[in-house]
């Protein structure tokens, strides 16, 4: 992702409906783990929004960012940061209790190498939480602008994770209700859709996507795929 996009994301993520609900989703996933917080790595941390969620829930997180700009933003926010490639993590074998990789794998040609590294650095029984954009039917200028290599279907994402030796515990769709809106906007887009929007619209979109917490829509097509997996003991 270009430096300008990272700075834009950092400026938006505290209030934008997409990032706000994603942080809420991460918080719910952490609570559902029922595990004692330990060492965590947030791969592709960008501005560190998800890293701060980990820290707020008692984990000892480090933000890992490939770009100099993203690492700089995370440091400005008082986070522990390392610059590295997700395909060669500077972490010892079995050193981590939790890895998060939200919107990371789709940027990497060799996504299987990143998945193998996640397996390596997790302790036996450790958990990984992953988010990726869903469905090549939604491919647009937005994907090009933010540096995506691909969008995933369920079988493709599962195959990458299981090939690395990880066990998939749950795989579900997110941002299902707003998929028709996203599809329409992406068809008409000419670049990234990381834009600031009016507060009433932002609040309305947040309410719609938050409704998915209570509706049986996880098996339907969405804009993103979410995955929880673990390294077998």
User: DSSP string covering 163-197, please?
Assistant: HTTPEEEEEEEES-TTHHHHHHHHHT-SS------
Query: Which of 17-31, 70-84, 156-170 comes out lowest in average pLDDT?
Result: 70-84
Instruction: Check: pTM over 0.85? Answer yes or no.
Output: yes
Residue 202 contacts residue 16 (beta carbons within 8 Å):
yes
**Nearest CA among 225, 104, 100 for reference residue 154:** 225
What is the percent of the chain with per-residue pLDDT over 90, rounded to a whole number? 73
How far out from the chain centre does Cα 183 lie?
Answer: 20
Cα Rg of the chain, angstroms: 17
Can you tell me the mean pLDDT for 136-147? 90
Can you say whether residue 153 is alpha, beta or left, with left for phi > 0 and alpha for psi between -120 and 50 degrees?
beta
pLDDT at residue 69 in the model: 82
pLDDT at residue 21 in the model: 94
Start-to-end CA distance of the chain, whole Å, equals: 35
Q: Which residues pair with 128 in a beta bridge?
A: 99, 229
Can you tell me the mean pLDDT for 138-156? 93
Mean pLDDT computed over every residue of the chain:
92
Is residue 2's pLDDT more than 60?
Answer: no
pLDDT tens, position by position, 45-69: 988 999 999 999 999 999 999 888 8
pLDDT at residue 213 in the model: 94
More confident residue, 188 or 158: 158
Token pair 């302790």 in the structure block, residue: 123
Superfamily of segment(s) 3-230: Vaccinia Virus protein VP39 (3.40.50.150)
Is residue 204's pLDDT more than 60?
Answer: yes
Residue 49 φ then ψ, to 5° = -60, -45
pLDDT tier at 216 (50, 70, 90 boundaries)? very high
pLDDT at residue 189 in the model: 72
More confident residue, 113 or 76: 113
Can you tell me the mean pLDDT for 3-25? 81
CA distances from 125 to 19, 166, 172 (A): 28, 10, 21
Provide the residue count of the chain.
233
More confident residue, 127 or 71: 127
- What b-and-e string marks burial along 83-92, b requiring 16 or more CB atoms within 10 Å of the CB? ebebbebebe
Residue 97 contacts residue 58 (beta carbons within 8 Å):
no
Token pair 């507060």 in the structure block, residue: 199
pLDDT tier at 178 (50, 70, 90 boundaries)? very high
Which residues, other chains included, contact 22 with Cβ-Cβ below 8 Å and sequence gap of 6+?
50, 102, 131
pLDDT at residue 153 in the model: 97
Q: Which residues pair with 121 in a beta bridge?
A: none
Token pair 């890992």 in the structure block, residue: 64
pLDDT tier at 72 (50, 70, 90 boundaries)? confident
């Amino acid at each position: 992702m270009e430096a300008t996009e990272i700075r834009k994301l950092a400026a938006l993520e505290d209030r934008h409906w997409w990032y706000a609900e994603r942080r809420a989703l991460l918080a719910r996933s952490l609570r559902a783990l029922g595990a004692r917080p330990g060492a965590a790595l947030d791969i592709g941390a960008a501005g560190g929004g998800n890293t701060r969620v980990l820290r707020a829930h008692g984990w000892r997180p480090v933000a890992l960012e490939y770009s100099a700009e993203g690492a700089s933003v995370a440091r400005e926010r008082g986070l522990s940061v390392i610059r590295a490639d997700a395909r060669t993590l500077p972490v010892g074998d079995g050193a981590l209790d939790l890895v998060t990789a939200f919107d990371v794998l789709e940027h990497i040609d060799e996504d299987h190498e990143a998945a193998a590294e996640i397996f390596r650095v997790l302790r036996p029984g450790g958990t990984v939480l992953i988010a990726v954009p869903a469905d090549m039917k939604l491919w647009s200028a937005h994907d090009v602008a933010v540096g995506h290599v691909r969008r995933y279907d369920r079988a493709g994402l599962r195959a990458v994770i299981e090939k690395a030796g990880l066990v998939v515990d749950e795989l579900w769709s997110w941002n299902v209700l707003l998929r028709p809106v996203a599809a329409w906007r992406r068809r008409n887009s000419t670049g990234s859709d990381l834009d600031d929007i009016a507060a009433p619209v932002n609040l309305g979109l947040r309410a719609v996507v938050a409704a998915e917490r209570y509706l049986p829509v996880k098996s339907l097509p969405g804009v993103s795929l979410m995955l929880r997996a673990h390294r077998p003991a």
